A and B are shown apart, each in its own frame.
Chain A
């Protein structure tokens, strides 16, 4: 099965600083998803990347997909306390049958100090 490794596991930054979270896959990436989770809440969809070299932005969050490296990075510019939470990457790894295998990394806990 596909494994996704996220780094770092946790991150503490001062408000206003930039930061990057990485997600590396053990297998070919067919689709890469970034989600954010607040403690005790469900997951909020941020972005989906499907093509190598694709880059998407939402407000101050930018995500890129490097297909060759089987890796995606999430970059936050000028971080704010509202960015705090757990960031999870998820990836599609289609099995030989019709079942969809969508797996997630273990998450990166982001704390932004005011």
Chain B
């Protein structure tokens, strides 16, 4: 499709397990963002990729969180040793450049039991 694609749409895991969330941005978009949205809360910035520049990881809540973007396209957000407080909807967005609107995916809902 033409939009931002995220998978899985829903993930239920046990505490302590690792999870990987995938984001396929809009083709040609150089910027990619990960946000987290907890129930009833706004969007919490996690990480930002822009072209070949070093990513801005300032929003990652702990060293259990990491993300990579291969070939300037698909991105994977990895959460190691998941905790219950990691339960949230993880949203990915992409944009064509340094400014302008972000196009969001439908999100990956993570539930840690």
Contacts and interface: CB of A to CB of B under 8 A. Distances in A.
Interface of A: 31, 33, 35, 40-45, 48, 88, 90, 92, 95, 98-107
Contact of A48 (B56, B91, B100, B103): B100
A104 B43 contact: yes
A103 B45 contact: yes
B104 A42 contact: yes
B43 A88 contact: yes
B50 interface: yes
B53 interface: yes
Interface of B: 4, 31, 33, 35, 41-43, 45, 48, 50, 53, 56, 58, 91, 93, 98-107, 109
A37 B53 CA distance: 30
Contacts of A40: 107, 109
Nearest to A31: B99
A107 B106 contact: no
B39 to A, nearest CB: 11
Given A88-B42, A98-B53, A103-B45, A45 B103 contact: yes
